[in-house]
Chain A
Amino acid sequence: MKQVMSNEILKIEKLKKYFHIGKDKKRCPIYVRAVDEVTLNVNYGETLGLVGESGSGKSTIAYTVAGMYRPTSGQILFQGKNIGIDRSKRPLSTKKEIQIVFQDPGSSLNPRQTIEQILGLPFKIYTQMSKKQIRERMIEILEKVELSTDYLYKSPPSIGGGEKQMVSIARAMASDPSLIILDEPTSALDVSVQAKIINKLIDLQKEMNLSYLFITHDLSLMRNVANRIAIMYLGKICEVADSVVFFEKPLHPYTQMLISSVPVISKEEENLKPKKVISTGEIPSPVNIPPGCSFHLRCPKKVDICSKTDPEMIEYSPGHIVRCHLFTK
């Protein structure tokens, strides 16, 4: 187990994804820099949490890894192979290994299909099983997510939000993948349902030895799910750390701002939070990213250099990476 942990299942290197949105007055193309030189890795059997505000590029990373977008530049290495190419050139065996669960189960499941049709598709694509075998496997998978067999004949509109998300998870599990991208799987659900789904995901991870790339904006959820956490701001990574270290010793001013704005429910948690960092300003548009450090307009600890040059990623302590001028010498 320990030996396996040291290997990387997914390695993203200097990934860029720009979206072309039009031309300015001088006919120069305008780009939205959704993801800008992101370097990340996910180890075997771990959960990497990716946190950021809306528009920070979390979902773009997810979609690029899943092959829905073609990267502008940079590499995505999955089990050592570069998959940062056109999805049509991606081999079926790799597609099978990477699955994605979307945020809104209401729109990611076809309302006119039955659950049987929805769950059957991955088997038809990735395997040569007979109809009888597929049925057996489907029932097996439904059991894994604690849904009874009669759900096969139901359609998505007739079941609850939590159950729909369970079906999406079952669909992702159907091809027996090794990496699952979870794009805010519980943010559309209530806390009592969220707890159930998260526990199921953690169980399934242990059972099937899965790796998760878990995207969310809920930091307290991240604390309980992820092994490591990466914070994104305007298409760039601000800080990557072990989830325990992350909450005990946040370095980047943005991380401190985020953690201090989490609403908590007990005194004990209150003490854990860093001193209140009053959040000011709003996330700028990714079309006009400010020069220098993209966070300097909202940063309470801004110094002169911040508005001029973009800080480099540095390793503050083993496994704790931060991108801020306060820590570069």
Chain B
Amino acid sequence: METKGNILLDIKDLHVWYKVYGGYLKVLNNLHLTVREGERVGLVGEAGCGKTTTMKSILQILPPGDFRIPQGEIFYKGQDVLKMNPKELQSLRSKEVAMIFQDPTAALNPVFTIGTQIGDVIKYSSVLKGDSHKEKIKEESIKALKEVYLPDPERMRINYPFQLSGGMRQRVCIAMSISSPRNLILADEPGTSLDVTIQDQIHRLLNEIVKKKNTAIILITHSLGVAREMTDRIYVMYAGTIVETAVPEILFENPVHPYTKGLLASIPKISGGGIAKGIPGRIPDYLNPPSGCRFRLRCQQESPICSEKAPQLFEVEKDHLVACYLSQR
């Protein structure tokens, strides 16, 4: 085990609600998440469990006017993101935290060249403003493109996004996120829209870069296999809450929460042996989520206490936290 760095990001008891017709969608509920410097964190969960909402609330890029944060704190380097003024937020987004989106086609602007778009990122993250720094910006962007192994970076700069393939576009997005020094990269399913072999390439590249630069990363994925290979610590998320967190070895060998167990059993294995039954039911309605534990309606081991009060994260062994009453008995 490597020595642990200082706490970089600390999310405490975060609640995020979206306004819709007929009330609020209570998406995030009592979310706790910690990232240390240089740590690779995996955030795993099914579609619609609030993974992307978590990322967007860190950067405060949630759709304006449509959301509410009734309680919670997001500390980045000891400063609460939710209380930052616009200028501080802008500096957080341009200098500290980078985000890689799921769909590279939608993340890149189709009417500007790759060079312009990377140049902009470099320009706003540093003091290289004004015409005198043009050459320097060009050099930096070529360096970033080289780092993601794009062929012929000189020529790549004058290309438009539509001239590149999906895998290359995602490489450009990664290049943008590392073109200036960052402390935290938020990667929102960077390989999902790509093919298996290309996905493997992108993940390997990302892994290599964060290790080399000692950048912390939060990797969102719905594939536990990817999380196992890429991260130091996995958070399993269900319906807006963290249900279990541990290092990959412990999580895969000794899962405690019924949801994690069900999820692990549902994954088809290349060693064969069939597939388990899966988890009955589906993600709860966020408009009227069940009281207490949000997983209880799909849980086989529900007891009366589950509906009364939501379980809090509880340390079952060192560095292994579970939010379930079963583990506390």
A residues bordering B, Cβ < 8 Å? 53-54, 160, 162, 190-196, 198-199, 217-221, 223-225, 243-244, 247, 257-259, 261-266, 268-269, 272-273, 278-280, 282-283
> Is B270 an interface position by the 8 A CB rule?
yes
Residues of the A chain whose Cβ atoms lie less than 8 Å from the Cβ of B252: 265-266
- Asked if A269 and B266 make an inter-chain contact with CB atoms under 8 angstroms apart, the answer reads no
Of residues A196, A217, A258, which shows the largest number of chain B Cβ atoms within 10 Å of its Cβ? Answer: A196
> Is B276 an interface position by the 8 A CB rule?
yes
- Asked if B196 and A258 make an inter-chain contact with CB atoms under 8 angstroms apart, the answer reads yes
- Asked if A223 and B225 make an inter-chain contact with CB atoms under 8 angstroms apart, the answer reads no
Query: Among the listed B222, B228, B270, B278, which residue makes an inter-chain contact with A223, where contact means beta carbons less than 8 Å apart?
Result: B270
> Is B307 an interface position by the 8 A CB rule?
no
> Is B288 an interface position by the 8 A CB rule?
no
Contact A54-B195, Cβ < 8 Å, known A223-B268, A247-B270, A265-B224: yes
Q: Tell me which of B14-22, B198-206, B308-316 binds A.
A: B198-206
- Asked if B201 and A279 make an inter-chain contact with CB atoms under 8 angstroms apart, the answer reads yes
Ordered nearest first, which 3 A-B pairs have the shortest CB separation? Answer: A263-B225, A195-B278, A261-B200
24 A-B contacts (beta carbon < 8 Å): A53-B196, A160-B282, A190-B46, A191-B222, A191-B263, A191-B266, A191-B267, A193-B282, A195-B265, A195-B276, A195-B277, A196-B277, A199-B275, A199-B278, A218-B268, A219-B196, A221-B275, A247-B272, A257-B197, A261-B197, A263-B228, A273-B270, A282-B167, A282-B198
Contact A265-B267, Cβ < 8 Å, known A257-B197, A279-B201: yes
Give complex CA distance A217, B195 in Å.
Answer: 8
Residues of the B chain whose Cβ atoms lie less than 8 Å from the Cβ of A268: 271
Shortest Cβ distance from A189 into B: residue: B47
Q: Give per-residue flags for B260-294: 1 if the beta carbon is below 8 A from chain A beta carbons, else 0.
A: 00111111111111111111101000000000000
Give complex CA distance A190, B280 in Å.
Answer: 12
- Asked if B225 and A264 make an inter-chain contact with CB atoms under 8 angstroms apart, the answer reads yes
Give complex CA distance A194, B223 in Å.
Answer: 13
- Asked if B274 and A224 make an inter-chain contact with CB atoms under 8 angstroms apart, the answer reads yes
- Asked if A259 and B223 make an inter-chain contact with CB atoms under 8 angstroms apart, the answer reads no
Closest-CB distance, A285 to chain B (whole angstroms): 9
Residues of the B chain whose Cβ atoms lie less than 8 Å from the Cβ of A194: 266, 278
Closest-CB distance, B102 to chain A (whole angstroms): 14
- Asked if B270 and A262 make an inter-chain contact with CB atoms under 8 angstroms apart, the answer reads yes
> Is B229 an interface position by the 8 A CB rule?
yes
B residues bordering A, Cβ < 8 Å? 46-47, 165, 167-168, 195-201, 204, 222-226, 228-229, 252, 262-280, 282
Residues of the B chain whose Cβ atoms lie less than 8 Å from the Cβ of A247: 270-272
- Asked if A269 and B275 make an inter-chain contact with CB atoms under 8 angstroms apart, the answer reads no
Closest-CB distance, A104 to chain B (whole angstroms): 13
Of residues B47, B195, B201, B282, which shows the largest number of chain A Cβ atoms within 10 Å of its Cβ? Answer: B195
Shortest Cβ distance from A247 into B: residue: B270
- Asked if B267 and A220 make an inter-chain contact with CB atoms under 8 angstroms apart, the answer reads yes
- Asked if B197 and A264 make an inter-chain contact with CB atoms under 8 angstroms apart, the answer reads no
Contact A259-B279, Cβ < 8 Å, known A190-B222, A217-B196, A265-B264: no
Contact A261-B267, Cβ < 8 Å, known A192-B279, A224-B272: no
Of residues A192, A224, A280, A283, which shows the largest number of chain B Cβ atoms within 10 Å of its Cβ? Answer: A192
Contact A266-B276, Cβ < 8 Å, known A192-B262, A257-B197, A261-B200: no
- Asked if B197 and A220 make an inter-chain contact with CB atoms under 8 angstroms apart, the answer reads no
Residues of the B chain whose Cβ atoms lie less than 8 Å from the Cβ of A192: 46, 262-263, 266, 278-279
Residues of the B chain whose Cβ atoms lie less than 8 Å from the Cβ of A224: 268-269, 272-275
Contact A282-B165, Cβ < 8 Å, known A195-B275, A261-B196, A266-B252: yes
Give complex CA distance A197, B323 in Å.
Answer: 28
Give complex CA distance A217, B268 in Å.
Answer: 13
- Asked if B46 and A272 make an inter-chain contact with CB atoms under 8 angstroms apart, the answer reads no
Closest-CB distance, A271 to chain B (whole angstroms): 9
Shortest Cβ distance from A191 into B: residue: B266
Contact A262-B197, Cβ < 8 Å, known A160-B282, A223-B270, A269-B269: no
Residues of the A chain whose Cβ atoms lie less than 8 Å from the Cβ of B197: 53, 257-258, 261, 279
Contact A283-B269, Cβ < 8 Å, known A192-B46, A192-B262, A193-B282: no
Give complex CA distance A116, B59 in Å.
Answer: 46
Closest-CB distance, B116 to chain A (whole angstroms): 24
Shortest Cβ distance from A196 into B: residue: B278
Contact A193-B278, Cβ < 8 Å, known A265-B264, A266-B252: yes
Residues of the B chain whose Cβ atoms lie less than 8 Å from the Cβ of A199: 275, 277-278
Closest-CB distance, B45 to chain A (whole angstroms): 9
Contact A262-B196, Cβ < 8 Å, known A192-B262, A198-B275, A273-B270: yes
Query: Among the listed B47, B225, B265, B277, which residue makes an inter-chain contact with A262, where contact means beta carbons less than 8 Å apart?
Result: B225
Residues of the B chain whose Cβ atoms lie less than 8 Å from the Cβ of A266: 252, 269
Shortest Cβ distance from B227 into A: residue: A263
- Asked if A195 and B266 make an inter-chain contact with CB atoms under 8 angstroms apart, the answer reads yes
Residues of the B chain whose Cβ atoms lie less than 8 Å from the Cβ of A225: 268
Of residues B168, B196, B204, B270, which shows the largest number of chain A Cβ atoms within 10 Å of its Cβ? Answer: B270
Residues of the B chain whose Cβ atoms lie less than 8 Å from the Cβ of A195: 265-266, 268, 275-279
